[in-house]
Amino acid sequence: MLIDTHTHLYSSQFDEDRKSEIENCLSNNVGKMLLPNVDSKSIDGMHKLVTDYPGVCYPMMGVHPCSIQPEDWKEELKIAKDHLYGNIQNYIAVGEIGIDLHWDKSTLSIQQEAFAEQIKWAKDLDLPIVIHARESFDEIFEVVDQYNDASLKGIFHCFTGGKKEVEKILSYGGFLMGIGGVLTFKNGGVAEVIKDYELSHFVLETDAPYLAPTPNRGKRNQSSYLPLIAEKMADVFGVSLPEIEEITTANANQLFNL
């Protein structure tokens, strides 16, 4: 069985065919889908999926860095924290959190503050964190450096860094890297970076509805495309598809305590 460790199945892009997409996943050997939260607006849809598909869909709770805006970021954090500490659902991680400097660099200081605050929750609750890092590895590392210890664990989701970034992530001790559709892109560069490392450092993800793998690049991504990423992973590492399934699924089960 494959586990999609990062999918936004509650997105409005799935409103027309969410049920059939999940059925398609299950028939394509994608047995579990892990749902990162974005902000207060995504919570209800995420919870409904978890209720409708117990043992298939699993929720995280956090505030995405692009939702950290000057006018309401503290309120967004409060809502997320109340959900986490109120144990409203059995959340498997604090995520999706991190820093995004692609769209707006002016919010860096509050993004760093929000990221640090959510890391503290994860350590307090003994949960992994799921990190969104877009054009922001140095800024992410600056924060993680302050809080990393034996209790901190998580995933650098949608990993697209170089070997320098891999080495830094591995030096933390408790982190894996999420590999998605970019692995299949002709000039994505991810394959060359990761091929010399152990499979024990990676999990698979789609980030649906974003970043669909080849040959569906440019279309809506979906969790049922995860086998395409697994097949490319097998090719990159020169191992069988069942080995990719076994190792990446074990990595995800262990990290998220599924």
- DSSP three-state, residue 136: coil
Return the ∠ at Cα 205 (arms to 200 and 207), rounded to 5°: 150
SS3 179: strand
Q: Report how far residue 226's alpha carbon sits from residue 232's, in angstroms, rounded to the nearest whole number.
A: 10
So what's the pLDDT on residue 87?
85
Say what the pLDDT of residue 231 is. 98
Pairwise CA distance, residues 249 & 59, whole Å: 17
**Which pLDDT does position 124 carry in this prediction?**
97
pLDDT of amino acid 88? 84
For the domain spanning 2-256, the CATH number is 3.20.20.140
Per-residue confidence (pLDDT) for residue 175, from 0 to 100: 98
Q: pLDDT value at position 189?
A: 95
Contact predicate 241/231, CB 8 Å: yes
Span 17-42, pLDDT tens digits: 999 999 999 999 999 999 999 999 99
How, if at all, do strands 129-134 and 154-157 pair?
A: parallel
d(CA 99, CA 88): 26
**Domain coordinates in residue numbering, the chain:** 2-256
| pLDDT of 90 | 95
Place of tokens 């440019």: 218
Residue type, 28: N
Can you point out the beta strands (E) in the chain?
2-4, 30-35, 57-59, 94-100, 129-134, 154-157, 175-179, 202-204
* pLDDT < 70 stretches in the chain: none
